[in-house]
Structure 1
Amino acid sequence: MTREKTVFITGASSGIGAATAKAAVAAGWNVGLMARSADKLDSLVQELGEASLAVAGDATDLGAQESAIARVASHFGGIDAAFANAGMGVDTPGTEAGDPREWRRMIDLNIMALLYTARVALPELRKTKGQLVLTGSVAGKLHILGSIYGATKWFVHGYAGNMAQEMREWGGRCTLIAPGMVDTPFFSEPKPDKLQPEDIANAVIFALSQPERASISEITVMPTG
């Protein structure tokens, strides 16, 4: 199989990120994988083979993302897509009862880390007229009783639209993926009757597989149940 394109993925060690890495390799892509868990990344690379490169690091660290992008671009000869997927929720919801320390960690990951991915990837994506993919959420489309997590995803949705406008000027594309509830480690209890990570991975690959003339601005994926 000829591999001509490379996608960089944050939050790649489990859940949607790992499923997308597997789907991308199956579709003929190279994958650069970033997450904090070096052991999980190494196991994933053993499964995926030479089409994958693991770069362990914290996505909330701008320098770590700069180094990761540089390594992936050097290793595979460029980057054609970046998937800003890393994210988290909170254990204690609400404003009055919530934990401000959790808010800070969530905002750093859901917003700042996503901005860092865009910042470090854009110079490479300009070279390839590439694509930026962002993990939003249905929680970023609805008003949910005081949800601070949902508010971070509203930011992602607004930013995705803004980036689509900016990237269009030089032939790039930005796609927002908005899942409903997905059975991933994001939740403390399994959700077997909800979406599976592979469902979201399929949506990402669909967006990445479109011809240059077609831009998929948003894909919302909901469980049927």
Structure 2
Amino acid sequence: MDDRVFLIAGASTGIGAATARQAAEAGYRVVLAARSVDKLETLADETGGLVVQTDVGDYAQVEALARRTLEQLGRIDVVFANAGVGHPRGFEAGDPEDAKQMVITNVFGIYATIRATAAALRESKGHLVITSSIAGRRALKGSLYSATKFAVTGMAEAARQDFNGTGVRTTLISPGMVETPGFSHELQDVLTADDIARAVMFAVAQPPHVDLNEILVRPTAQES
């Protein structure tokens, strides 16, 4: 597996960073993409990864990410479309411009990542992994964030159908409550980023004829 390439959009913290560490441990060459270069460089020191500053809301930057990966590493085997941001609940809460940017990042950013890497994934018969949320399966009161994750859940199935017959596999990861810096949960024992990263690595480790389309992961104590 020494030459296989694992590209992560949204790699700077949390689930993306944890997945980068586990992918590197599994023998992948990792590509680390996010807006925060300083965090990526620290992660690159741990993983040996290629750092590419990327705003997934700007298609030209995502296209440049795919091009640079192919130029320097020659292939793309796994794409983890993980970039995403949150927003306060309530349609009168928060800043409308922040809400707009969330929609661009969470929805257009996934589309842009798929589009820019699709040809490389078909070439390698690779694997597309997308982060959604349990909030993309059940609506949350006043949550535009939840609506973006519904869109992501639908996009993952649309991508699976589009790739059907090419050998490319598609997996949607839908976490429940995950430990997040600066955010409190009602449960004490929530999921960690490493828990979700293990689910990602489990999906990509399946044999080529197995397409694990969705993994829903909740803390044991989470009721809904």
Say if 2:78 is the partner of 1:84: no
Q: Please give the secondary structure, in 2, of the residue aligned with 1:183.
A: coil
- Give 2:176's aligned amino acid: G
Determine the structure 1 residue equivalent to 2:171: 175
Determine the structure 2 residue equivalent to 1:47: 46
Is the CA contact 2:30–2:47 (under 8 Å) kept in the aligned structure 1?
no
Determine the structure 2 residue equivalent to 1:28: 27
Is the CA contact 2:24–2:30 (under 8 Å) kept in the aligned structure 1?
yes
- Give 1:19's aligned amino acid: A
Say if 2:208 is the partner of 1:209: no
Hey, what's the Cα distance between the residues in 2 that align with 1:155 and 1:73?
29
Say if 2:187 is the partner of 1:188: no
CA offset at residue 81 of structure 1?
A: 1.2
Q: How does 1:90-101 map to 2 (within 5 A)?
A: 90=87, 92-101=88-97
CA offset at residue 68 of structure 1?
A: 1.1
CA offset at residue 98 of structure 1?
A: 4.4
- Please point out which of 106, 123, 126 is paired with 1:110: 106
Q: Would you identify which runs of 4 or more consecutive aligned residues in structure 1 move more than 4 Å?
A: 189-192
TM-score between both structures, scaled by the size of structure 1: 0.93
Is the CA contact 1:183–1:192 (under 8 Å) kept in the aligned structure 2?
no
CA offset at residue 7 of structure 1?
A: 1.2
RMSD: 1.5
CA offset at residue 171 of structure 1?
A: 1.5
- Give 2:113's aligned amino acid: T
CA offset at residue 147 of structure 1?
A: 1.4
- Give 1:108's aligned amino acid: I
Deviation string, structure 1 residues 131-169 (Cα, Å, up to 9, x no partner): 111101000111221211111000011111111111112
Q: Please give the secondary structure, in 2, of the residue aligned with 1:7.
A: strand
Is the CA contact 1:16–1:184 (under 8 Å) kept in the aligned structure 2?
no
Hey, what's the Cα distance between the residues in 2 that align with 1:38 and 1:146?
33
CA offset at residue 192 of structure 1?
A: 6.0
Determine the structure 1 residue equivalent to 2:121: 125
- Give 1:123's aligned amino acid: A
CA offset at residue 97 of structure 1?
A: 3.5
Hey, what's the Cα distance between the residues in 2 that align with 1:167 and 1:176?
14
Residues matched between the structures, number: 220
Q: Please give the secondary structure, in 2, of the residue aligned with 1:171.
A: coil
